[in-house]
Amino acid sequence: MQASILVLEPEIRRSIQIRRALEYHGHHLLFVPTAALALGALRHVQFDILLAPVFPLTIGAAALSAQAKLLQPQLRVLILDEPEPGRDVLYSSVDAYLRTPISDAALADAVRALLGRCDPAMPAIAAPEHVKPAHKVKPSVN
């Protein structure tokens, strides 16, 4: 299955790697360098996956993910790297994390695993060990 992927990546070197890894598999990519531009794109174009670093330049990954899912509830969010320890509750709208440094194969596997979760006709694919599903933690009431 080909996906439409919005990539928030301010680093040119990693953008080139992401393009190489995902266009090879036929995915359609739109690259933006800032969270503000990512949110603007989500207002106008339908995407299957949002791929972003853990700490985008102007807005945290958790806040970006939550806002993106308000605009497109079916959107799957893949964050490159893992959140700070103890802050999982902030990341409840994130679907998966991919540990960095990333390889082309690991990124392609992560996207394929996410697509398997959003397409009921596609057979389920077990996430590879380098893809960590996001913890869905309920906030505690003190």
pLDDT tens digits, residue range 1-18? 789 999 999 889 989 999
DSSP secondary structure letter of residue 26: T
Reference 112, options 102, 121, 103, 122; nearest CA is: 122
Q: What is the CATH number of domain 4-133?
A: 3.40.50.2300
The CA-CA-CA angle for residues 11, 107, 73, to 5°, reads 90
Contacts of 86 (CB under 8 A, 6+ apart): none
Cα 63 from chain centre: 13
Indicate the Cα dihedral angle 65, 66, 71, 73, nearest 10°. 90
Lookup: tokens for 118: 């959003």
pLDDT tens digits, residue range 77-94? 998 875 555 555 455 678
What does the pLDDT read at residue 83? 54
49-53/28-32 β-pairing: unpaired
Amino acid at 48: D
Predicted TM-score (pTM) of the model is 0.77
What does the pLDDT read at residue 132? 53
Q: Which residues of the chain have pLDDT under 70?
A: 54-59, 82-92, 117-142
Instruction: Residue 108: count other Cβ atoms within 10 Å of its Cβ.
Output: 16
Cα 10 from chain centre: 15
What does the pLDDT read at residue 90? 52
